[in-house]
Structure 1
Amino acid sequence: MRQTVALPLLVACLLVASPLRAADPVPEIQRPAGAPQAVGAVHTLRQIPEACARLEGAFTGDAAQPYRYAPVRTSTHCQPRARFVDFDKAKPSVAAGWKLNDVIRVPDAACPSRQAVLRVWRKPGSATPPPLDGQGQSRIYLQDAKQQAGTAAQAPSLTLFAAKLDIEGNACR
């Protein structure tokens, strides 16, 4: 008797959930789930070289905040060509020109039914390197840069990155 009630209920739930998942954009980068990580083990989730940053995360063991992540600057000498911005302030969406760039899944080694899911969004900027000169080099000349900086309408925008963390699956006891 339970199976005859449970099966239609399961099918109905899947039908309701299917359109929600179908609306999710396909990420630009396809990757399998990462290796399970132990509580307290800090690990790199993703490198973003153009923003001179890497995303580091760790399971905390805290029920209120089971996982934390933070962007970390890779080098003080790196010159960023993109910026990593706060997700809540940026409010990325496809309609606003953002693209789902990557979905990173990290299973919890202590609780296999739970995983941290980091969705990285990217908004392409208009900044492009100058064309190659006669010697095959891409050069920026001071006069041209000053002139371009003087007119805000011509100022190129940088590529932006933002990330949102979700915890999926069941919590272990």
Structure 2
Amino acid sequence: MRLIPTLLAAGFVVASSSVFAADPAPEIQRPLGTAQAVGAAHTLRTIPEACARLEGMFTADAAQPYKYAVVRTSPQCQPRARFVDFAKARPSSAGGWKLNDVIRVPNAACSSQQAVVRVWRLPADNTPKLDGQGSARVYLQESKETAAAGKLPPITMYAAEMKVEGKGCN
């Protein structure tokens, strides 16, 4: 008799681990977001190194219940990373991308519905070389020549995808 609950529990652990294996653990762990009202624009996340802010809003449109956009934080901001189109980049763990963040925002008007934004990051090792004194030296002429030759160091890239999960409400 005791064997059946044990087998059910073991089956649940195997089934749940296979579900979680498909989606790697994000680098940033965050709780469920605050429920947002329909029509209220809200910031999902700011990525300072890309000079970008993810902004979203629930809509009353059943065809597109949630929309989000990547907004530049400031015209004066000098990005050290780049935000790229998710569909073109097609981020995956196999391609060196890391699941950076999963943001879940419930709909205040419909508790069974939530927007889920997955942010992926492709890290680039662009740390400067240190000299004998432990300082990074950057020389203007060398930098100009490197840029003119098209040998710029890689920069970190970000991409995000948004999906609405759960049933819509009438």
For residue 140 of structure 1, the aligned residue among 138, 141, 144 is 138
Deviation track 1:96-127 (CA, whole Å, cap 9, x = no partner) reads 00000000000000000100000000000232
Which residue of 1 is the match for residue 120 of structure 2? 121
For residue 165 of structure 1, the aligned residue among 155, 159, 162 is 162
Separation (CA, whole Å) in 1 of partners of 2:26 and 2:35: 22
1:16-27 maps to which residues of 2 (within 5 A)? 19-27=18-26
Separation (CA, whole Å) in 1 of partners of 2:89 and 2:138: 30
Which residue of 2 is the match for residue 85 of structure 1? 84
Give the superposed CA RMSD.
2.6
1:3-152 maps to which residues of 2 (within 5 A)? 19-129=18-128, 131=130, 140-152=138-150
Secondary structure in 2 matching 1:145: helix
1:170, CA displacement in angstroms?
1.2
Stretches of structure 2 that go unaligned for 5 or more consecutive residues are 1-10
Larger mean CA deviation between 74-83 and 138-147 belongs to 138-147
The number of residues matched between the two structures is 161
Letter in 2 for 1:147: E
- Tell whether the 8 Å contact from 1:101 to 1:122 is kept in structure 2 after alignment: yes
Letter in 1 for 2:157: L
1:61, CA displacement in angstroms?
1.1
Which residue of 1 is the match for residue 8 of structure 2? none
Separation (CA, whole Å) in 1 of partners of 2:92 and 2:37: 32
- Tell whether the 8 Å contact from 1:130 to 1:140 is kept in structure 2 after alignment: no
Greater than 6 Å deviation, 4+ residue runs: 12-15
Separation (CA, whole Å) in 1 of partners of 2:13 and 2:60: 31
Separation (CA, whole Å) in 1 of partners of 2:156 and 2:81: 5
Separation (CA, whole Å) in 2 of partners of 1:113 and 1:161: 29
1:74, CA displacement in angstroms?
0.6
- Tell whether the 8 Å contact from 1:105 to 1:115 is kept in structure 2 after alignment: yes
Separation (CA, whole Å) in 2 of partners of 1:130 and 1:147: 17
Separation (CA, whole Å) in 2 of partners of 1:69 and 1:111: 18
Q: Give the share of equivalent positions with the same residue, in percent.
A: 62
Secondary structure in 1 matching 2:94: coil
Letter in 2 for 1:146: K
Separation (CA, whole Å) in 2 of partners of 1:40 and 1:65: 13
Secondary structure in 2 matching 1:121: strand
Change (3 A) 1:66 1:140: same
1:149, CA displacement in angstroms?
2.1
Secondary structure in 2 matching 1:61: coil
Secondary structure in 2 matching 1:50: helix
TM-score (norm 2): 0.84
